[in-house]
Amino acid sequence: MIMEQFQRTIVESSFSTDYDVEQFFKIQNQTRSAHFVTVPLSTVVADVGDDEVQAYYQDHVDNYRTEATVAIEYIELSLGDLAKSINPTSAQLEMFYQEQQDAFRTDERRKISHILLADKNKASEQAAEIKERLKTSSFETLASEFSADKLSASKGGDLGLIVAGDMDPDFEEIALGLVEGEVSEPVKTEFGYHIIKVTELTPGVVKPYEEVKKIVELGFKKVEAENIFYELGETLAEISFENPDTLEVAAESIGVAIHQTENFTRAQGNTDISAEESVREKAFSEDVLAGNNSEVIELGSDRIVVLRVLNHSPSKARELSEVSGLIESRLKGDSAKQQTLELAKELKALVQSGESLELLAKEKGFSFVVADDLGRNNGDLPWEINRAIFVGAKPKSDQPTTMVVALESGEQAVVNLLSVTEGALAKANKKEFGIARTNITKLLSEGDFDAVLSDLQADAVVNLSEQL
Amino acid sequence: MEIYETEEEQVEALKRWWKTNGTSIITGIVVAIVIVFSWKYWQSYQADLTTEASNFYGELLSAQKEGKTESALKIAERLVQQYETTPYAEFSALFQAKINVDNNDYDAAKEVLRKLVTTAQGEINHIARIRLIRLLLATEDYDTGLQLIAEVNPTQAESFEGIYQELTGDLYVALERRGEARTAYQNAVRKGRNTPLMQLKINDLTISEIIEIKE
């Protein structure tokens, strides 16, 4: 109670001043004006000497390593394979069929109608009358005439298919005992007296063996295979552990073949069993790389695998001759970027010494862009340039701030930040000012509350440690 | 301890001891009973008072929520005056200040908060102090603002340090001491107060003229 009030106190008593709101708009709605040119990536191709390539290779040899690979051999126990290997005799199948008859049974369909006599005093009299009149009239007619269960009465008393357990036990016992077309004596329940008729009855049947032979066989195989699967699985685990240097003993004892894979890496398998992440994980585990059989690996609930490494190529540095091409083009790219940067810095120095960025651009054939009164969130300029314009130091009295800005493309921009205009929001614009104020108050209240909360937590920790 | 030969001797010794000390023991017991009863009474009196204050305070919260600031202010004033010994007096003072600010009466708000800064403990003290500084900033009393921050013992304000640093930055911005402002804002970020607005405030104070965004 008091904690909730405390929280509300901190949050709801928070306020912000006009000054807070004005300061926010000063920054948020600030506009800045700038000029810039983009220095394109240099097209001068540097000469990269063999010695440079070699030096780079030696400094960055770890960037040019091959990935470790392994090839494995493995044995696999699969429920599907086991099932295929089982050849039941027809005697076994028939026995299985007998045991599993419930699985091959179709349910009985029993449709019933009833007449409910709700008035207990008149019930026996009405029952007698109904019994008499059934000789000449149909059950449906009498149901609509007599039954107090109006819903079923309008349908000739029809209650639909009976589902065991849904009805009153006494009612159900009678209803289930009737043959098709038979009408019961009145049955008492809490609702009154019911006269029940079975209007449709399709007895449940057990499908004959011949009809379901295929399913019986599949079922038998599955059950048998499962039993063998768990048994052999245990054998596999034991024997492969007891003979860590070979799969042969285990393979023989469970009667499966040893398979092999091609080389694969930790990250990328082939289309064979190495496609499984858990297989690759085990194949590259310390124990397996040391030459031991792996533990049993479960692939889903119906396959298990034990593997060992066939051959292992550890990660190693690639030869210089393999990668010199890559290094050369990298160095050429770096050089082009460096030349671009140097040109940009040169331009910047010229601008700072008083030359015009516009004229310099014209001289070099670069396009000169004028960006006046930019908003903070404009999306027209490359983001790097916009960011620089809004992070750049404010120019001091007609002395623009000149910056070199690297673009993602490798190009460099020379940006001249000319002026900054503080943002403003007329206080007269009451609605917007009010919204801003609400938001700023909320922001401040969140900050206040976070601080209070972490202070309370810190206190709690101290108290707790004192108690301990 | 004395050792007594027989039971009779023991009884005699007890009687002697009682004669000399009995009265003062009885007085002690009576005093203790009185103290316990008054304490119980005081406790239950306090509990009643607190329950009463809590109910009033609930009314304050809903009045404020429904925008009935005038009655909220009245309840707040009453709680501050008549329920001084309950935590609700301090809670209410914070609302008193807020409502005054919303009514553009910054002086009244400052007075309420100043009082809290001298009397309240712990979190409430920090909150009152922080809000008082925001008002001082808005009323151009920057040096007092800096003074209030300087008074804080940093070892007991770890959780509030980020806010204090931000306020320090705000005060220096107002004083046009941009370098110190920037340092304070950067300290605030280091103390975990790293809001988007904070980043804008820092970027607005860039000193270095060169920006090269590294690859």
Residues A416 and A329 in one domain: yes
Q: Provide the residue range defining the domain that includes B92.
A: 20-120
Q: Is residue B204 part of a domain?
A: no
Closest-CA residue in chain B for A408? Answer: B215
Q: By three-state DSSP, how is residue A200 classified?
A: strand
Q: Which of A429, A27, A447, A12 has the alpha carbon at shortest distance from B102?
A: A12
Residue B163 contacts A where some CB pair is shorter than 8 Å: yes
pLDDT confidence of residue B214: 41
Query: A331 and A185 in one domain?
Result: no
Q: Which of A313, A340, A358 is the last residue of a domain?
A: A313
Looking at the whole model, is its pTM more than 0.80? no
Is A465 inside a domain boundary?
no
Give the CA angle between residues A179, A180, A181 to the nearest 5°.
110
A420/chain B closest Cα distance in angstroms: 10
Task: Tell me, yes or no, whether B90 lies in a domain.
Answer: yes
Interchain contact, B97 vs A8, CB within 8 Å: no
- Range with lowest mean pLDDT among A128-142, A153-167, A315-329, A430-444: A153-167
Q: Residue A148: CB partners within 8 Å, gap ≥ 6?
A: A116, A117, A118, A119, A191, A192
Domains held by chain B: number = 1
Is residue B215 in some structural domain? no
Alpha-carbon distances of A77 from A147, A170, A234, A307, A349, rounded to whole Å? 66, 55, 11, 12, 74
Asked if A229 and A300 sit in the same domain, the reply is yes
Q: Are residues A246 and A171 in the same domain?
A: no
Regarding predicted confidence, which is higher, A229 or B36? A229
Higher pLDDT, A225 or A211: A225
**What does the mean pLDDT of chain A come to?**
88
In a domain, B191, yes or no: no
Q: What residue type is assigned to position A285 of the chain?
A: S
Measured CA to CA, the distance from residue B205 to residue A395 in angstroms comes to: 11
The residue-averaged pLDDT of B144-159 equals 91
Could you tell me if B134 lies within 8 Å of chain A, comparing CB atoms?
A: yes
| B205 within some domain | no
Residues B184-194: what's their mean pLDDT?
A: 92
Q: What is the largest CA-CA distance in chain A?
A: 124
CB-based contact A428:A358 (threshold 8 Å) = no
Domain residues for A403? 31-46+324-421
A411 and A450 share one domain: no
Are A328 and A399 in the same domain? yes
Beta carbons of A443 and B195 less than 8 angstroms apart: yes
Minimum Cα–Cα distance from A337: chain B residue: B215
Question: Does B107 touch chain A if contact means CB atoms closer than 8 Å?
Answer: no
Provide, as residue numbers in chain A, all residues whose Cβ is less than 8 Å from the Cβ of B212: 403-406
- Residue A273 lies inside a defined structural domain of this protein: yes
For residue A259 the two structure tokens come to 């398979």
Task: Check if the beta carbon of residue A285 is closer than 8 Å to that of residue A294.
Answer: yes
Residue ranges of A 387-406 with Cβ closer than 8 A to chain B: 387-388, 390-394, 401-406
At B215 the pLDDT is 36
* Average model confidence (pLDDT) across chain B: 84
Pair A412, A333 in one domain: yes
Task: Identify whether B168 is part of a domain.
Answer: no
The CATH number of residue A136's host domain is 3.10.50.40
Q: End-to-end alpha-carbon separation of chain B, Å?
A: 88
- C-alpha A413/C-alpha A407 separation (Å) is 7
ipTM over 0.85? The verdict is no
Task: Kindly identify which residue of chain B lies nearest to residue A13, measuring between CA atoms.
Answer: B95
If we measure between CA atoms, which residue out of A383, A370, A354, A353 comes closest to residue A417?
A370
Contact: A448, B209; criterion CB under 8 Å: no
Which tens digits make up the pLDDT trace of B31-87? Answer: 666 666 666 666 777 777 788 888 888 888 888 888 888 888 888 988 888 888 888
3-state secondary structure A57-100: HHHCHHHCECCCEEEEEEEEEEHHHHHHCCCCCHHHHHHHHHHC
* Residue A275 tokens, joined: 């496609």
Query: Does A12 share its domain with A35?
Result: no
Question: Lowest-pLDDT range, A7-21, A148-162, A296-310?
Answer: A148-162
Q: In whole angstroms, what separates CA B127 from the centre of its chain? A: 7
- Contact status of A455 with chain B (Cβ, < 8 Å): yes
Task: Write the CB contacts of A296 (distance below 8 Å, at least 6 apart in sequence).
Answer: A233, A236, A237, A240, A304, A305, A306
Closest-CA distance, B30 to chain A, in angstroms, reads: 34
Residue A17 and residue B135: Cβ atoms within 8 Å? yes
User: Is B140 inside any structural domain?
Assistant: no
* Band of pLDDT at residue A460, cut at 50, 70 and 90: confident
In tens, the pLDDT along A364-397 reads 899 999 999 998 887 788 889 998 999 888 888 7
Q: Which helix (H) or strand (E) holds A196?
A: strand A192-202
Per-residue confidence (pLDDT) for residue B212, from 0 to 100: 46
Higher per-residue confidence, B215 vs B3? B3
Domain membership of residue B175 (yes or no) is: no
Domain count, chain A: 4
Closest CA to A247 of A76, A69, A85: A76
Side chain identity at residue A101, one-letter code: Q
Q: At residue B213, does pLDDT exceed 50?
A: no
- Do A415 and A443 fall within a single domain? no
Contacts of A10 in chain B (CB under 8 A): 94, 123, 127
- Tens of pLDDT along A80-129? 888 888 888 888 888 888 888 878 888 888 889 999 988 888 888 888 88
Q: What pLDDT is recorded for position B40? A: 67
Contact A357, A416 (CB under 8 A): yes
Could A15 and B101 be called an inter-chain contact, meaning their C-beta atoms sit closer than 8 Å? yes
Summarised one tens digit per residue, pLDDT across range B15-34 is: 777 777 766 666 666 666 66
